Structure 1
Amino acid sequence: MSARSGPPLGFAEAFDLPLSVDLRTAARAFGVCPDTAYKLIRLGRFPCPVLRVGRRYRIPTAYMLRALGIEERPVYAVDLEAGAAHAAQHHRISHHETEAPE
């Protein structure tokens, strides 16, 4: 059995993942080595759906998090601030576009 690809993923790292991850990242999330992850896929026993893209495997992050018992992404204050800033910028742009020229 080969060593893990790194330490298990923490919550903060898991929530910053892209829409899909490679098999090594998914293996880290489940706390298994990549060789075990490949074996589970071959046996049809990987804990979440796996996509085959060419010669590589991709795991949809939403399915992976759900299999880990994480149903919802927590909301952090920084997320709320970023969302508010985006909404304010969008409001300024749309308000500017609807103003009639003088």
Structure 2
Amino acid sequence: MSKCDRTPLSFREILDLPVSVDLRTAARAYGMSMGTAYRLVGLGTFPCETVRVGHRHRVLTVHLMHALGIEERPLFADDIADGVALTLFD
């Protein structure tokens, strides 16, 4: 991803995120620039909790999803076709 890439993450991309993400990825999920993200973190008003790890900020994906109003992972037809959903019902 280039430094100028401000394309917001799609719903599917958000659902496929790892357990935690960097501030750049979290900012993309909200459709904001890195400058805005750092300013909000500095003010303590970023839309979800951030964790400082050394000189970097991390965001737990569960907090990111909750702040975006995503409470649970939906089931997609291709998940069922891939057999992913079968483990949910066993």
Q: TM-score, normalised by structure 2?
A: 0.82
**Higher percent of residues as helix:** 1
Q: Do structure 1's residue 34 and structure 2's residue 34 form an aligned pair?
A: yes
In the alignment, structure 1 residue 14 sits paired with structure 2 residue 19: no
CA distance in 2, matches of 1:53, 1:69: 26
Deviations 1:9-63 (A, max 9, x none): 1111110000011111100111110110000000000010000011111000110
Match of 2:47 in 1: 47
From 69, 82, 85, the counterpart of 2:84: 82
Cα displacement (A) at 1:83: 4.8
Q: Please give the alpha-carbon distance, in whole angstroms, between the structure 1 residues aligned to 2:10 and 2:19.
A: 17
Aligned partner of 1:74: which letter? P
The Cα of 1:4 is off from its aligned counterpart by: 5.0
Gaps of 5+ in 2: none
> Which structure has the bigger radius of gyration?
1
What's 1:62 paired with? 62
Query: Hey, what's the Cα distance between the residues in 2 that align with 1:19 and 1:44?
Result: 22
Whether the aligned pair in 1 keeps the contact of 2:47 and 2:67 (CA below 8 Å) is yes
RMSD, aligned α-carbons: 1.9
Identity percentage over the alignment? 51
Please, which runs of 5 or more residues in structure 1 have no aligned partner?
88-102
Structure 2 residue aligned with 1:91:
none
- TM-score, with normalisation over the residues of structure 1? 0.73
